[in-house]
């Protein structure tokens, strides 16, 4: 078993044993029914008592682990068109810990990553804007921003 | 014999281009506004005219810590040479071996020293030991390593270290440790192989390890978090993946910012340590803003040039018109400011534009121009493949905005404003480019032609091997030293050709309607005709052939006085052209397009 797979198996084991409340994360099933350990899907709830937690929304992300993980960071994306100042139109997330050569370290775990993304949801970094609409609304028209985020939370509501 | 600039400047004494044949040894040129003749032979006169500048000299000397010991040499030097009111542009060798002075403009000078790379570390060791302390054990390998890591993390700049020292308590004990510990760079790698538990998982590879003797864990001493550990293999992989990208590596733990010291990395692996040092040096060599340490751009030449340059306060590199070229111990001339081959009379900024222009026709370079942007700090071409407009140069770590090229700091709010502005600028630029294309093509032709000529002369120079010189010396019964004039002549010829080449590039950017343009072209032509004369002569005595031929070789001897004279003529004419080009740029007679 390669280092990448071994580490991912362990991540999976750890996750099943203990993970933050409201989150989910699991490898995707291939068409033949087996698990693709290098491709995960996960869900991130909005932080309690914040704008993002409205409608009990859980925001889905796709995680793709490269073959040289954990030397290289995984690629993580929201669905395309996700409304957030630090998410590209393609859905890719601009977060320093997910950036090789910036703050990525092989010791960063899945738990740290998803908690980091949850944190980013409610506290966007205006110094690294990644999309125009959300960035513009966030910096210039807070009311519109709040409205749009709420609209989005409705879309990802889990009842 | 041949007068150049003076004819044109007879009405204006301030622009006196020294053109006197007798002053072969004068490398420093002076402005003279009071005395028309400008050649005062009386030493006391020179000294007197020098005296009003004494204060200034002392002030200058105080800037440079190199020069405290060399001030007397400088004074001697100035007495000896023809001194008038102002020192203009040039550089001068000190009596002291390999110590030089460089005058980038009239107010300042840079003191510099040429070394071979091998001697660099030992020189640094000596200098640092003198400012730190005399340790009884300073010959120890570890002490040396600490000094090196101190340098590597301080841009190889002793002044920076001295500055840090001022802020530290005065005890002489372990001063290098003090500096290292303030930057968090004093730590050790420890290998843990006894734990309370029977088994432990490595957080990276998730291998469960029970035999701690066989597989050990690694931890950094000054990191408090006990979970920031990894098995030896994983730690090494981590270091390896970071080693060629940075010269300071953090502890392996998640968001931990604890830096790992060089000495502990050396304990791991000597190659890692050497690579870190190399990377740090390379970064300093390539950093255009770091004038303190430079390497000769010539391949296979390992000369290093150290200057007393400390920070931006001495010289503003963007406005310095022409940072005169420096030559290394192997006579490779290069420019200190852009760290490329010598390009007088054109300035670094214009040269870059010139090369951009040349590359417009080239497809792959077109791609580079269209898809990349130069880092505003270090000029490295950067392609943006994804990410936001907040760019961080992978080379010099400068952070800037991709759209407006300005420093990212304080940029936050006005992000989408800069996009519109740039589109407009682009359109303007394109119109200008179309107009100047024909003109560009003409000068480019000249440029390429002179380059080819230079390459031919270089071949000649390389053919003048020791074998050929040996033949000649046995034929004439002369020593190698006496035949040195042949080498000198060819070297000067190549340098002159190089200057002609770049002068064409400068001409392209110049305002043709101005009188100075014609003065410049005249100077250029006199240099050009001299070059032709000399190279014809060299062709005549057939330096190209390596076979002995007594008849032709006798000619070499006959030509000796003439060639020596021609060499100094070439030197003089080059100085004129360079000075004239500098005036042009200073007077803003350059069309920037």
pLDDT digits (tens, 9 = 90+) for B277-317: 888 888 888 777 777 777 887 777 777 877 766 655 445 54
Q: Which segment of A17-21, A72-76, B243-247 scores lowest on mean pLDDT? A: B243-247
Under 8 Å CB pairs connecting chains A and B tally to 71
Cα–Cα distance between A21 and A101 in angstroms, integer? 31
Q: Mutate which of A37, A72, A104, A107 to disrupt the B interface (most B C-beta within 10 Å)?
A: A107
- Does one domain contain both B531 and B474? yes
The CATH number of the domain holding residue A79 is 3.10.110.10
Same domain, B363 and B255: no
Q: B178 pLDDT exceeds 80? A: no
Q: Give the CA distances from residue B400 to residues A25, A27, B368, B404, in Å, rounded to whole numbers and listed in that order.
A: 36, 38, 19, 8
Alpha helices in B191-322 (DSSP H): 232-243, 262-268, 270-286
Among A90, A106, A108, which would you mutate to test the B interface (most chain B Cβ atoms within 10 Å of its Cβ)? Answer: A106
Least confident of B21-25, B62-66, B83-87, B297-301: B83-87
CA distance B77 to B83: 10
- State residue A24's pLDDT score: 92
ipTM value, please give it.
0.74
Span B459-469, pLDDT tens digits: 777 776 666 77
Give a three-class secondary structure readout of chain A: CCHHHHHHHHHHHHHHHCCCCCCEEEEEECCCCCEEEEEEEEEEECCCCCHHHHHHEEEEEEEECCCCCCCCCCEEECCCCCCCCCECCCCEECCHHHCCCCCCCCCCCHHHHHHHHHHHHHCCCCCCCCCHHHHHHHHHCHHHHHHHHHHHHHHCECC
pLDDT over threshold 50, residue B156: yes
Long-range contacts of residues B100-109, Cβ cutoff 8 Å, at least 24 apart: B100/B326, B101/B74, B102/B307, B102/B323, B102/B324, B102/B326, B102/B336, B103/B28, B103/B324, B104/B315, B104/B320, B104/B322, B104/B323, B104/B324, B105/B315, B105/B320, B105/B321, B108/B60, B108/B63, B108/B314, B108/B315, B109/B60, B109/B64
Q: Are residues B406 and B449 in the same domain?
A: no
Cα A113 to Cα A64: distance, rounded to the nearest angstrom: 13
- Asked if residue B440 and residue B423 are part of one domain, the reply reads no
The two tokens of residue B191 are 């290998």
- Catalytic residue of the set A57, A58, A94, A134: A94
B282 touches chain A (CB under 8 A): no
Q: Are residues B150 and B223 in the same domain?
A: yes
Report the predicted TM-score, pTM, of the whole model to 2 decimal places. 0.59
pLDDT band at A146 (very low <50, low <70, confident <90, very high): very high
With cut-offs at 50, 70 and 90, classify the pLDDT of residue B29.
very low
B17 burial via Cβ count (<10 Å: 0-12, 13-18, 19+): buried
Percentage of residues in chain B having pLDDT higher than 90? 0
Q: Which residue from B206, B207, B254 is facing A105, i.e. has the nearest CB?
A: B254
pLDDT the model gives residue B95: 40
What is the arithmetic mean of pLDDT over B124-137? 65
**How much is the average pLDDT of A85-96?**
89
Would you call A94 a catalytic residue per the annotation? yes
Could you tell me which chain A residue has the CA closest to the CA of B238? A71
**What pLDDT does residue B343 have?**
80
**pLDDT higher than threshold 50 for residue B27:** no
Q: Which domain holds residue B74?
A: 5-87
Determine whether the interchain pair A107/B230 forms a contact, defined as Cβ–Cβ distance below 8 Å.
yes
Query: Which of A53-62, B12-21, B380-389 shows the lowest per-residue confidence on average (mean pLDDT)?
Result: B12-21
Task: Give the pairing type, strands B325-327 and B91-93.
Answer: unpaired
Is residue B381 within a helix (H) or strand (E), and if so which, with residue range? strand B381-383
Residue B99 near residue B139 (C-beta atoms within 8 A): no
Count of CB atoms situated within 10 Å of the CB of B35: 14
Out of A71, A97, A129, name the one closest to residue B388 (CB): A129
Which range among A10-19, A58-67, B104-113, B173-182 shows the weakest confidence by mean pLDDT? B104-113
Q: Average pLDDT of B23-34?
A: 37
Do B151 and B205 fall into the same domain? yes
Same domain, B381 and B515: no
| pLDDT, tens digit, 9 for 90 and up, residues A93-110 | 888 888 877 788 888 889
Residue B109 CA to its chain's centroid (Å): 15
| B404 and B373 within one domain | yes
Query: B532 — contact with chain A (CB < 8 Å)?
Result: no
Confidence bin at B179 (pLDDT 50/70/90): low
Question: Which of A88-97, B172-181, B235-244, B385-394 is the most confident on average?
Answer: A88-97
**pLDDT of res. A42:** 93
Chain B, residues 206-225, CB within 8 A of chain A, namely 206-207
Residue B382 lies in a domain: yes
User: CB of A129 within 8 Å of any CB in chain B?
Assistant: yes
Q: Are strands B399-401 and B390-392 parallel, antiparallel or unpaired?
A: antiparallel
Portion of chain B with pLDDT greater than 70, in percent: 60
**Of B552 and B238, which is predicted with more confidence?**
B238
Tokens matching residue B493:
């010829």
- Token readout for B162 is 């001295």
Q: What's the CA gap between A104 and A110, in Å, rounded?
A: 12
Residue B294 is assigned to a structural domain of this protein: no
Residue B76: which pLDDT band, with cuts at 50, 70 and 90? Answer: very low
B37-63 pLDDT, tens digit each? 333 333 333 333 333 344 444 444 443
Better-scored residue on pLDDT, B25 or B325: B325
Cis amide leading into B516 (omega within 30): no
Query: For residue B512, what is the DSSP state?
Result: T
Q: Which of A96-100, B140-144, B360-364 has the lowest mean pLDDT?
A: B360-364
The token duo for B34 is 């009071």
Nearest CA in chain A to B235: A106
End-to-end CA distance of chain B, in Å?
39
- The whole-number pLDDT of residue B345 equals 79
| Residue A78 · residue A60 · CB < 8 Å | yes
Mean per-residue pLDDT for B519-533?
Answer: 87
Confirm if B354 and B309 have CB atoms less than 8 A apart. no
Q: How confident is the model at residue B34 (pLDDT cuts 50, 70, 90)?
A: very low
Whole-number Å distance between alpha carbons of A89 and A78: 10
Which domain-ending residue is among B49, B69, B87?
A: B87
C-beta of residue B475 within 8 angstroms of C-beta of residue B550: yes
Helices (H), B107-231: 117-131, 141-152, 158-166, 175-182
Q: Any residues with CB less than 8 A from the CB of B233 and at least 6 apart, and which?
A: B205, B215
Q: Is residue B159 predicted with pLDDT exceeding 50? A: yes
List, for residues B310-337, the tens digit of each pLDDT value. 655 445 544 444 556 677 777 777 777 7
Determine the distance in angstroms separating the CA of B330 from the nearest CA of chain A, rounded to an integer.
38
- Where does the pLDDT of residue B28 fall: very low under 50, low under 70, confident under 90, or very high at 90 and above? very low
Give the residue-averaged pLDDT of B544-573. Answer: 77
- Cβ contact (<8 Å) for B228 and A106? no
What is the overall mean pLDDT for chain B? 68
Range B121-132 average pLDDT: 71
Return d(Cα A41, Cα A36) in angstroms, integer: 11
CA distance B219 to B194: 13
Q: 3-class SS at B87?
A: strand
Contact at 8 Å (CB) between A5 and A37? Answer: yes
**B141: Cβ–Cβ under 8 A, 6 or more apart, which residues?**
none
User: What residues of B are in contact with residue A71 (Cβ under 8 Å)?
Assistant: 237-238, 241
Which domain-ending residue is among B226, B248, B282? B282
Same domain membership, residue B542 and residue B494: yes
Same domain, B475 and B542: yes
Q: With 80 as the cut, is the pLDDT of residue B371 above it? A: no
**In which band, very low, low, confident or very high, does the pLDDT at B256 lie, cut at 50, 70 and 90?**
confident
Put simply, whether A77 touches B (Cβ < 8 Å) is: no
Residue B295 domain-assigned (yes or no)? no
Overall size of chain A counted in residues: 159
Interface residue A24 vs chain B (CB under 8 A): no
Q: Is residue B228 part of a domain?
A: yes
Angle at CA B70, nearest 5°, toward B68 and B71? 70
pLDDT score at B311: 56
In a domain, B319, yes or no: no
Contact B260, B187 (CB under 8 A): yes
Let me know whether B67 and B161 are in one domain: no
Smallest CA-to-CA distance from B243 within B111, B356, B152, B375 is with B152
Q: Domain range for residue A150?
A: 3-155
Domain boundary among B428, B450, B469: B428
Q: How many domains does chain B have?
A: 4
Q: Which structure tokens are listed for B450?
A: 């002179």
Residue of higher predicted confidence among B588 and B280: B280
Question: Are B228 and A107 within 8 A, CB to CB?
Answer: yes
The sign of the dihedral angle between the CA atoms of B560, B566, B567, B568 is positive
Does the beta-carbon distance from B238 to A128 stay under 8 Å?
Answer: no
B238-244: average pLDDT = 81
Number of domains observed in the structure of chain A: 1
What is the CATH classification number for the domain harbouring B534? 1.20.120.1750
Min Cα separation B364/chain A (Å): 27
At B411 the pLDDT is 65
Residues of chain B neighbouring A136 (CB-CB closer than 8 A): 416
**What single string gives the DSSP state of each residue in B295-328?**
E--STT--EEEEE---STTT--TTT-S---EEE-
- In terms of average pLDDT, the best of B192-196, B237-241, B284-288, B482-486 is B237-241
Q: Do residue B531 and residue B503 come from a single domain?
A: yes
Residue B592 lies in a domain: no
**Which range among A11-20, A53-62, B41-50, B204-213 shows the weakest confidence by mean pLDDT?**
B41-50
**What is the least distance, in Å, from the CA of A128 to any CA of chain B?**
6
């Amino acid at each position: 078993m390669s280092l990448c797979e071994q580490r991912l198996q362990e991540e999976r084991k750890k996750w099943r044993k203990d993970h933050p409340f409201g989150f989910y994360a699991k490898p995707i099933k291939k068409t033949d029914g087996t698990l693709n350990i290098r491709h995960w899907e996960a869900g991130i709830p909005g932080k309690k008592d914040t704008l993002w937690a409205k409608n009990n929304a859980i925001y889905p992300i796709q995680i793709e682990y490269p073959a040289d993980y954990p030397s290289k960071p995984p690629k993580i994306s929201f669905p395309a068109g996700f409304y957030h100042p630090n998410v590209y139109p393609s859905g890719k997330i601009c977060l320093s810990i997910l950036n090789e050569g910036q703050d990525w370290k092989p010791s960063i775990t899945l738990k740290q990553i998803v908690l980091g993304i949850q944190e980013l949801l409610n506290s966007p970094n205006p110094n690294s804007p990644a999309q125009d609409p959300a960035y513009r609304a966030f910096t210039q028209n807070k009311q519109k921003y709040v409205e749009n985020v709420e609209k989005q939370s409705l879309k990802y509501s889990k009842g | 014999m041949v007068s150049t600039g003076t004819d044109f400047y007879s009405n204006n004494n301030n622009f006196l281009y020294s053109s006197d044949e007798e002053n072969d040894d004068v490398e420093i040129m002076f402005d003279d506004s009071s005395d028309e003749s400008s050649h005062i032979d009386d030493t006391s006169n020179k000294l007197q005219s020098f005296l009003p500048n004494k204060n200034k000299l002392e002030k200058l000397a105080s800037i440079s810590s190199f020069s405290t010991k060399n001030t007397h040499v400088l004074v001697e030097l100035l007495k000896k040479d023809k001194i008038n009111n102002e020192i203009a542009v040039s550089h001068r060798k000190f009596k002291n071996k390999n110590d030089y002075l460089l005058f980038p403009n009239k107010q300042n000078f840079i003191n510099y020293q040429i070394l071979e790379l091998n001697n660099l570390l030992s020189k640094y060791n000596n200098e640092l030991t003198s400012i730190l302390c005399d340790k009884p054990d300073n010959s120890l390998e570890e002490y040396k390593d600490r000094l090196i890591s101190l340098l590597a993390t301080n841009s190889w700049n002793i002044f920076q270290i001295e500055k840090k020292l001022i802020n530290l308590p005065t005890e002489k004990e372990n001063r290098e440790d003090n500096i290292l510990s303030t930057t968090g760079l004093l730590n050790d790698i420890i290998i843990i192989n006894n734990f309370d538990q029977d088994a432990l998982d490595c957080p990276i590879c998730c291998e469960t390890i029970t035999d701690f003797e066989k597989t050990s864990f690694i931890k950094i001493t000054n990191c408090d978090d006990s979970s920031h550990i990894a098995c030896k293999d994983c730690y090494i992989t981590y270091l390896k993946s970071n080693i060629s990208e940075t010269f300071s590596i953090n502890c392996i733990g998640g968001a931990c910012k604890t830096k790992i010291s060089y000495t502990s990395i050396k304990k791991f692996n000597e190659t890692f340590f050497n690579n870190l040092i190399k990377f740090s040096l390379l970064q300093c060599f390539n950093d255009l803003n770091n004038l303190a340490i430079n390497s000769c751009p010539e391949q296979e030449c390992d000369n290093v040039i150290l200057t007393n340059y400390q920070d931006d306060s001495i010289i503003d590199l963007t406005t310095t018109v022409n940072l005169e070229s420096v030559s290394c111990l192997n006579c490779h001339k290069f420019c200190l400011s852009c760290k490329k081959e010598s390009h007088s009379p054109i300035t670094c900024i214009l040269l870059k534009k010139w090369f951009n222009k040349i590359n417009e026709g080239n497809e792959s370079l077109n791609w580079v121009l269209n898809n990349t942007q130069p880092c505003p700090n270090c000029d490295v071409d950067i392609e943006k493949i994804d990410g936001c407009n907040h760019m961080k140069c992978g080379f010099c770590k400068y952070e800037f905005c991709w759209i407006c090229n300005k420093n990212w700091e304080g940029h936050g709010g006005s992000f989408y404003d800069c996009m519109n502005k740039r589109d407009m600028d682009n359109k303007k630029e394109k119109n200008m480019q179309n107009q100047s294309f024909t003109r560009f093509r003409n000068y480019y032709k000249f440029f390429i032609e002179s380059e080819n000529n230079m390459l031919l002369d270089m071949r000649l120079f390389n053919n003048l091997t020791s074998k050929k010189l040996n033949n000649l010396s046995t034929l004439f019964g002369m020593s190698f030293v006496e035949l040195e004039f042949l080498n000198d002549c060819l070297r000067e010829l190549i340098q002159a050709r190089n200057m002609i080449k770049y002068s064409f590039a400068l001409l392209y950017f110049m305002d043709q309607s101005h009188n100075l343009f014609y003065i410049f072209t005249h100077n250029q032509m006199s240099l050009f005709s001299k070059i032709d004369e000399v190279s014809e002569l060299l062709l005549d005595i057939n330096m190209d052939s390596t076979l002995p031929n007594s008849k032709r070789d006798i000619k070499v001897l006959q030509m000796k006085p003439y060639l020596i004279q021609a060499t100094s003529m070439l030197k003089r004419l080059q100085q004129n052209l360079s000075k004239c080009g500098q005036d042009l740029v200073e007077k803003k007679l350059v069309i920037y397009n």
